[in-house]
């Protein structure tokens, strides 16, 4: 697989946008990146899975045997026999069979009670805090700042979908975006004219130079990636075809992860991938809706990990799963939950030291009806930056001291 892909990189480069070689960013640079450093095996890769809407942590990592849990949310609580035991009186939501089997292989770290001081219950403010790792108004994402700390390379960090998440936004440079349908680059004379539009011009303001840059990336990123996207997804040989309860129905998240799997297996020189799933804002009729979503997450990730095992990249990939906040402990009258505070964060992969981290927030000691925050999310980011992205955390997070020893 690796060799074929490298050849594809070469071919695509030769056939594609050689005209761009005259531009300030040379196509050779990226071709060379794909050939000379097609991400050498052993280079860690981060896959960030953002769950939009505020995932209910208490029904994800479930204290099912805690009588307080049962009495605080009677309409939506799970019985111990409906969930998958993890130990320490906690269990995984019953729909997450794939992730449960990874847990049993010691490849899942669950950080409990993750949040930040004075939790903000606004989706937008809280997601901005999580994605920027800055309290208050921020214009850049933590991984966007990482991109800017690296030599320019549009392949370095890629988000699936058509809109750039704040996570990957930098001041002058940002991560790239890859639409699910792949990229269709103009050809012929229109292409050579568009490439001319992709040069930054002296009079450009910040946004105009970014617009030129995205046009340029369209030609560089797409000529490298398109051939890979057209190849079949790597097989997931050790995975049963039907996973518990969630048979059928291609979901958007699994589609995104399939593309990431192809590109990672191909050796794309990409260190960060960003994928997402929405719909976690379960103010009403939560149980069924959340279980379906968590099933999609679990099935998508376990299939992805299996594809990685078939591709020799399984030792390199770390998956980070988070949401902007957890939800209220008590259910509301619509059998849903309102916005809350802390929640669990998942890290998966062979580099991860499986097990629990952080203290489970106590149900008998709620802070004005909400779960306490026992781990700051920046502890996790700092460890990810240092161990997975090989970058001093100070460069990205400022003077942040906390760490979570998640990795082998």
Partner 1 sequence: MPMASVAERRRMARLVHRFGFGPRPGEFESLLSKGFEQAAEQYLIAPASDAFADNQGSPVVSDQGRRPAPNSPDVVAYATQKRAQLSSLTFWWLDRMVLSEHSLRERMTWFWHGHWATSYQKVDDALPMYLQNERLRDHALGNFTAMSSQMVIDGALIFWLDGQTNTVKAPNENLSRELMELFTLGVNRYSEEDVKETAKALTGYRVNKTSGAVTYNPRQHFSAAIKVLGTQRSFDANSLSDFLVARDDCALFITERIWYRFVSSMNPLTDTTLISSFASRDIGALVKAIGKHASLDDPNNSMVKSPIDWFVSAARALSITPSKFSNPNSITNYLDQLGQRPFFPPNVGGWPADQAWLSTSSAQYRIQFAERLVREADLSPISTLAANSRLDALANWLAVPEWSNRTKMALNGAINDPARLTILALCSPEYVVSA
Binding site residues, partner 1, CB under 8 A: 52, 120-125, 137, 139, 154, 161-164, 166, 169, 174, 176-179, 181, 183-186, 189-190, 192-194, 196-197, 199-215, 217-218, 221-222, 278, 281, 283-284, 330-334, 336, 338-339, 368
Q: How far is the CB of 95 from partner 1 (least distance, A)?
A: 22
Nearer to partner 1, 189 or 365 (CB): 189
Q: Are strands 90-92 and 355-357 parallel, antiparallel or unpaired?
A: unpaired
Measured at the CA of 72, the angle between CA 66 and CA 75, to 5 degrees, comes to 105
Quick one: DSSP state of residue 245?
A: T
Bridge partners (DSSP) listed for residue 247? none
Nearer to partner 1, 197 or 408 (CB): 197
What are the tokens at 124? 């937008």
Nearer to partner 1, 79 or 367 (CB): 367
What are the tokens at 299? 């099935």
Nearer to partner 1, 256 or 298 (CB): 256
Distance CA 42, CA 71 (A): 48
Q: How far is the CB of 211 from partner 1 (least distance, A)?
A: 4
Distance CA 327, CA 116 (A): 14
Radius of gyration of the chain measured on its C-alpha atoms:
22
Nearer to partner 1, 220 or 246 (CB): 220
Torsion of CA 251, 252, 253, 258, to 10 degrees: 90
Q: How far is the CB of 208 from partner 1 (least distance, A)?
A: 4
Cβ atoms within 10 Å of 35's Cβ, excluding its own: 16
DSSP 283-315: SSSHHHHHHHHHHHHHHHHHHHHHHHHTTT-TT
Nearer to partner 1, 208 or 390 (CB): 208
């Amino acid at each position: 697989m690796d060799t074929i892909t490298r050849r594809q990189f070469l071919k695509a480069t030769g056939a594609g946008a050689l005209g761009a070689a005259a531009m300030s960013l040379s196509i050779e640079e990226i071709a060379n990146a794909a050939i000379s450093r097609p991400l050498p095996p052993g280079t860690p890769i981060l896959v960030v899975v953002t769950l939009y809407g505020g995932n209910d942590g208490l029904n994800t990592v479930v204290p099912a045997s805690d009588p307080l849990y049962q009495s605080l949310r009677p309409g939506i609580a799970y019985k111990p026999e409906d969930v998958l035991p993890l130990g320490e009186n906690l269990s995984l939501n019953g729909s997450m069979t794939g992730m449960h089997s990874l847990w049993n292989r010691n490849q899942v770290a669950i950080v409990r009670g993750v949040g930040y001081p004075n939790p903000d219950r606004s989706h937008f403010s809280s997601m901005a805090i999580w994605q920027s790792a800055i309290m208050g108004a921020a214009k850049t994402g933590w991984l966007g700042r990482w991109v800017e700390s690296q030599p320019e390379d549009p392949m370095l960090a890629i988000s699936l979908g058509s809109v750039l998440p704040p996570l990957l936004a930098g001041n002058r440079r940002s991560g790239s975006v890859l639409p699910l349908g792949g990229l269709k680059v103009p050809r012929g004379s229109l292409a050579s004219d568009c490439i001319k539009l992709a040069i930054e011009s002296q009079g450009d303001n910040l946004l105009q130079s970014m617009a030129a840059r995205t046009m340029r990336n369209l030609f560089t990123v797409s000529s490298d990636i398109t051939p890979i996207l057209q190849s079949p997804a790597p097989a997931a040989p050790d995975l049963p075809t039907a996973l518990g309860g969630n048979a059928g129905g291609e979901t958007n998240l699994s589609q995104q992860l399939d593309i990431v799997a192809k590109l990672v297996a191909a050796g794309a020189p990409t260190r960060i991938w960003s994928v997402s799933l929405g719909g976690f804002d379960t103010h009403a009729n939560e149980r069924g809706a959340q279980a379906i979503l968590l099933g999609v997450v679990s099935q998508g990730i376990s299939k992805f990990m299996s594809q990685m095992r078939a591709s020799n990249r399984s030792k390199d990939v770390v998956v980070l799963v988070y949401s902007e906040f957890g939800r209220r402990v008590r259910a509301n009258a619509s059998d849903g939950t309102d916005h809350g505070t802390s929640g669990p964060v998942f890290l998966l992969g062979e580099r991860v030291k499986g097990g629990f981290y952080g203290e489970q927030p106590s149900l008998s000691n709620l802070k004005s009806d909400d779960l306490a925050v026992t781990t700051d999310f920046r502890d996790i980011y700092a460890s990810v930056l240092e161990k997975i992205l090989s970058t001093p955390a100070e460069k990205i997070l400022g003077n942040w001291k906390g760490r979570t020893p998640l990795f082998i």
